[in-house]
Structure 1
Amino acid sequence: MKKKITVALAAIGIVAMGAGGARYLKNDTAAAVVQPSAPIVTELARSETFTVRRTDLRFTVPLAGTLRPVDQTTLKSEVAAKVSEVLAQEGQPVKKGDVLVRLDTEDLTSWLNERVANLESAKAQLALAEKNRSMKLSLQQKGYAAQASVDEVESAYRTSQANVRAMQAQVDLARKALENAVVRAPMDGFVSERAVSPGDKVPVDGKLAVLIDLSRLEIEAPVPTNEIALVAVGQMAAFRVPGLEGREFTGRVERINPTTKSGSRSIPVYIQVENGDKVLRGGMFASGDIVVREIRNVVAVPPEAVRGDQSQRYVLKLDGDRVARQPVEVAKDATATLVAVASGLSEGDTIVSAPSIVLEPGTPVRIGSR
Structure 2
Amino acid sequence: MQGKWKKWLWIPVMLVLAFGLFKVSDYLKKDKQVDTASDLSTQMVEAKEAVKVMKEETLSYTGTIEAADEAVISAKIAGRVSQVNVENGAAVASGTTLVSLESQEYINAVTINRAIQQKADVNLSTVKANYQRIKTLYESGAVSKKDFEDIEVSLKLAEAEVSSATASLANAEESLRNCTVSSPIGGVVADRNVSTGQVLSPGAPIMLIKNISDVYMVISVEQKDLAGITRGMEAVVTLDSLPGRKFTGTVEIINPSANKSARVFETKIKINNNDNLLKPGMFAKAELKTGKTGEILAVPQNALTGKEGMFFVFTAEGDKANRRQVEIGQVVDQLVEIKSGLTEGQKVIVTNVNKLKDQDSIKISN
Q: TM-score range by the shorter chain?
A: 0.5 to 0.7
1:95 and 2:93 aligned: yes
Question: What's the secondary structure of 2:135's corresponding residue?
Answer: helix
1:146 and 2:144 aligned: yes
Question: What's the secondary structure of 2:59's corresponding residue?
Answer: strand
TM superposition score normalised by structure 2: 0.67
The equivalent residue for 2:320 is none
1-structure distance, mates of 2:167, 2:88? 38
Deviations 1:183-203 (A, max 9, x none): 222221111122211111112
Q: Sort the Cα spacing of 1:124 and 1:83 in 2 relative to 1 into closer, same or farther, 3 A.
A: same
2-structure distance, mates of 1:209, 1:118? 37
Answer yes or no: is the 8 Å Cα contact 1:232–1:292 preserved in 2. no
What is the aligned counterpart of 1:83 among 81, 84, 105? 81
The equivalent residue for 1:282 is 280
2-structure distance, mates of 1:337, 1:113? 71
The one-letter code sitting in structure 2 at the alignment partner of 1:223 is: V
Matches within 5 A, 1:54-133: 57-133=55-131
2-structure distance, mates of 1:369, 1:186? 67
Superposed displacement of residue 301, structure 1: 7.2
Matches within 5 A, 1:136-285: 136-285=134-283
Percent of residue pairs identical: 23
Instruction: Pick the structure with greater CA Rg.
Output: 1
Answer yes or no: is the 8 Å Cα contact 1:237–1:291 preserved in 2. yes
2-structure distance, mates of 1:82, 1:66? 37
Report the number of matched residues: 267
TM superposition score normalised by structure 1: 0.66
1-structure distance, mates of 2:281, 2:175? 36
Deviations 1:78-134 (A, max 9, x none): 111110000101111112222211110111111111111211221122122112101
The equivalent residue for 2:346 is 356
1-structure distance, mates of 2:330, 2:212? 35
Answer yes or no: is the 8 Å Cα contact 2:50–2:297 preserved in 1. no
The equivalent residue for 1:48 is 49
Question: What's the secondary structure of 2:227's corresponding residue?
Answer: helix
Unmatched segments (≥5 aa) in structure 2: 1-44, 300-328, 333-342, 348-363
Deviations 1:252-289 (A, max 9, x none): 11121122212223222111111111100000011121
Answer yes or no: is the 8 Å Cα contact 1:82–1:200 preserved in 2. yes
Question: What's the secondary structure of 2:291's corresponding residue?
Answer: strand
Question: What's the secondary structure of 1:250's corresponding residue?
Answer: strand
Answer yes or no: is the 8 Å Cα contact 1:67–1:218 preserved in 2. yes
2-structure distance, mates of 1:63, 1:181? 46
